[in-house]
Amino acid sequence: MSTDTPVRLSRFRRRPTARTAIRSRTVAGLTALLLPLAAMVGLASPAEAATSATATYVKKSDWGTGFEGQWTVKNTGTTALSSWTIEWDFPSGTAVGSAWDAAVTSSGTHWTAKNLGWNGTVAPGASISFGFNGTGSGSPTGCKLNGASCDGGPTVPGDNPPSKPGTPTASNITDTSAKISWSAATDDKGVKNYDVLRDGAKVATVTTTTYTDTGLTKGTDYSYTVQARDTADQTGPVSASVAVRTTGTTDPGPGPGGKVNLGYFTEWGVYGRNYHVKNLVTSGSAAKITHINYAFGNVQGGKCTIGDAYADYDKAYTADQSVDGVADTWDQPLRGNFNQLRKLKAKYPNIKVIWSFGGWTWSGGFGAAAQNPAAFAQSCYDLVEDPRWADVFDGIDIDW
């Protein structure tokens, strides 16, 4: 329990009955747009050849049982693309759950993403990206952009692409580096080199079957795969992945006088806004912030009280909505935002969660609190230290 209880004047408008979203003062961006896959319509159709365009994939974040992926189409030619379609294969157990800025469909393990009406045209030199949340740990293989190679390389008649390299192994792991090794791929005309991919993004092209990746962050998880190129610059399928965690521990957070990146998480955002704790992970905000003000707890009769019991600790989360990919059960002692914040802190132990009391319309009890500050402080302490969620909160914030 923090002993520093900052008192601030705020201008937050609370409308608990309408469940409307409130624009928060946040240092880290806390928004992400998730469109359910069920709402995506339209099947992929043939489009012009993409010999002067590329498609690259990046795994932007990974939380163990799921991840956020992003494809980027870049026009490397001199004329505009009027539409784009990306096709790829995921291994069994890896799938797209929800996507945005593209219509994504699947047939078994084969996935197709097609532009929407507003982002099909890509000018020369420009790029367009779309993202998705996925489950599993596999990487895409067999990528095609408008029917051609995703890397812009040729597809040579009579010349087969190289085989899949062996699954990489990791050694010599330090705080900031790791050595990756793999068995060679084969090709009917010969293998020229290998692309090394970290979290789905190419970090190097080498002619040997080893690579030492440097400049990594200590105490951080990475995933490596390898892809072979033949003498015609055709790429083969991506290898299976190897997980690497660098040694050392991550920064536990700022000390006295250190930098604070704080954002507000509004309890009622789980309703009409459909914004949940997991969105802090998928948006990348959780990796940047140091503190979260959970807004708001109510102040009634001079005491700290629960704001919205259902959102706070009762709402059940499905596996795809949960920070760690594990669904809530009907009989578990804590659910809702509080349990999701607990899971978030397990994944990002440097984050401190502060329970903010008051706000625009929930400050009515502060007058009585000022008449008996000792009783008010005790009520806040007792509420925050409730055994059901005592490990979730690291202090309180007064928003009068």
Task: Give the pLDDT of residue 39.
Answer: 33
Question: Which pTM value belongs to this model?
Answer: 0.40
Task: Give the pLDDT of residue 35.
Answer: 32
Phi, psi torsion values for 201, nearest 5 degrees:
-110, 135
Task: Give the pLDDT of residue 221.
Answer: 85
Task: Give the pLDDT of residue 155.
Answer: 62
Q: Please, are residues 385 and 1 in contact by the beta-carbon 8 Å criterion?
A: yes
Mean pLDDT of the region 181-201: 91
Sheet containing 221-230: give its strands across. Answer: 201-206, 191-198, 221-230, 242-245
Task: Give the pLDDT of residue 36.
Answer: 36
255 Cβ contact list (under 8 Å, min separation 6) = none
- Give 144's strand partners: 87, 149
Go through the domains of the chain in sequence order and give each one's CATH number. 7-28+261-399 (3.20.20.80), 33-153 (2.60.40.290), 160-249 (2.60.40.10)
Mean of the per-residue pLDDT values of the chain: 82
Tokens representing 327 are: 């669904």
Mean pLDDT of the region 290-307: 93
SS3 track for the chain: CCCCCCEECCCCCCCCCCCCCCCCCCCCCCCCCCCEHHHCCCCCCCCCCCCCEEEEEEEEEECCCEEEEEEEEEECCCCCECCCEEEEECCCCCEEEEEECCEEEEECCEEEEECCCCCCCECCCCEEEEEEEEECCCCCEEEEECCEECCCCCCCCCCCCCCCCCCCEEECCCCCCEEEECCCCCCCCCEEEEEEEECCEEEEEECCCEEEECCCCCCCEEEEEEEEEECCCCECCCCCCEEEECCCCCCCCCCCCCCCCEEEEEHHHHCCCCCCHHHHHHCCHHHCCCEEEEEEEEEECCEEECCCHHHHHHCCCCHHHCCCCCCCCCCCCCCHHHHHHHHHHHHCCCCEEEEEEECCCCCCCHHHHHHCHHHHHHHHHHHHCCCCCCCCCCEEEEEC
Tokens representing 137 are: 């740990």
The model's pLDDT over 9-65, given as tens digits with 9 standing for 90+, comes to 333 334 443 333 333 333 333 333 333 333 333 333 333 333 478 888 888 888 877
Instruction: Give Rg (Cα) of the chain.
Output: 25
Q: CA 237, CA 150: separation in Å to the nearest integer?
A: 12
Q: CA 245, CA 233: separation in Å to the nearest integer?
A: 32
Is it the case that residue 188 has pLDDT exceeding 90?
Answer: no
118-122, 138-142, 248-252: range with lowest mean pLDDT: 248-252
Hey, what amino acid is at 260?
Answer: V
Q: What is the largest CA-CA distance in the chain?
A: 87
The model's pLDDT over 208-253, given as tens digits with 9 standing for 90+, comes to 999 999 988 888 888 999 999 888 888 888 899 998 888 876 555 5
Task: Give the pLDDT of residue 219.
Answer: 82
Q: CA 267, CA 20: separation in Å to the nearest integer?
A: 11
Is it the case that residue 75 has pLDDT exceeding 90?
Answer: no
Is it the case that residue 145 has pLDDT exceeding 50?
Answer: yes
Is it the case that residue 326 has pLDDT exceeding 80?
Answer: yes
pLDDT confidence of 254, banded at 50, 70, 90?
low
